[in-house]
Amino acid sequence: MFQIEKQSRIATKGQTCQKFDATGIGQDYIIRLNQCPITALLRYNTWSNGERDITCLDVSGDLRLNKIIGRMRLCIENLDSSYDYATLKTALIKQEDPAFATLHKRNFTFYIDVLDMDLVAELRKFGDCKINSKEILFNSIAKNRSELCIVYASKNETLPVAAYILTRIIPILYADRPKVISNNLSTSWHK
């Protein structure tokens, strides 16, 4: 589906997920999609205050993806000393003007029915992880309990990069394409 190529580490300066100005170290990744001529530069930021996130710095090949540059970051949280987690909101372009991208809460069915993609299987290609709602994973009773979340080993930096691609880039490219319904896929998923 896509390739992730690790690039150089670089000193960086910017704003964290919690809106603090900070310095840090950024690990750059070049992303190439196999289905289309799209290349993106993503940065995994580790900020001086301990916060971490992934953001898109540049993209070429499809103008719709310009809407995520510098926006739509994936914030990474510590669960404990060995595991991290990230909330998996989905980037979609609004249908009405102005047509900009926003993050939405979507479930597994959206990825199967609209994107024809098994999100769990795709993410597990990059490492061992648990993916489900916050209610299931953390016994959350908060308003956001139905949001999808991924829990994975802290040392795996590639998995959240893959999560960014699958929840930010892929949905923008394919959510509005004509759907061809596969009976085999639909049937096997709902068993």
- At 46-85, the pLDDT tens digits run 999 999 999 999 999 999 999 899 999 999 999 999 999 9
Q: Quickly state the pLDDT bin for 178 (edges 50, 70, 90).
A: low
pLDDT score at 176: 74
Percent of the chain at pLDDT > 90 equals: 82
Q: What is the predicted pLDDT for the residue at 177?
A: 63
> Can you tell me the mean pLDDT for 142-155?
96
| Segment 160-169, tens digit of pLDDT | 999 999 999 9
pTM above the 0.85 mark? yes
| pLDDT digits 0-9 by tens, 75-108 | 999 999 999 999 999 999 987 677 788 999 999 9
CA distances for 105 relative to 33, 75, 87, 101, 147, angstroms? 24, 15, 9, 13, 6
Q: Which two tokens stand for residue 112?
A: 């199967």
Burial state string for 23-43 with b = 16 or more CB within 10 A and e = fewer than 16? ebebbbbebebeeeebebbbb
Task: Give Cα separations from 31 to 2, 13, 28, 38, 57 (angstroms).
Answer: 7, 22, 10, 8, 11
Q: What is the pLDDT of residue 183?
A: 35
Q: How far apart are the C-alpha atoms of 37 and 20, rounded to whole Å?
A: 35
pLDDT at 182: 39
The average pLDDT across 119-145 equals 96
Mean pLDDT of all residues belonging to the chain: 90
**Residue 184 confidence (pLDDT):** 36
d(CA 102, CA 92): 6
Count of alpha carbons within 13 angstroms of residue 143, beta-carbon side: 0
pLDDT at 100: 81
- Beta-sheet strands, E only, within 48-82: 52-60, 74-78
Of 4-8, 9-13, 34-38, 97-101, which range is least confident?
97-101
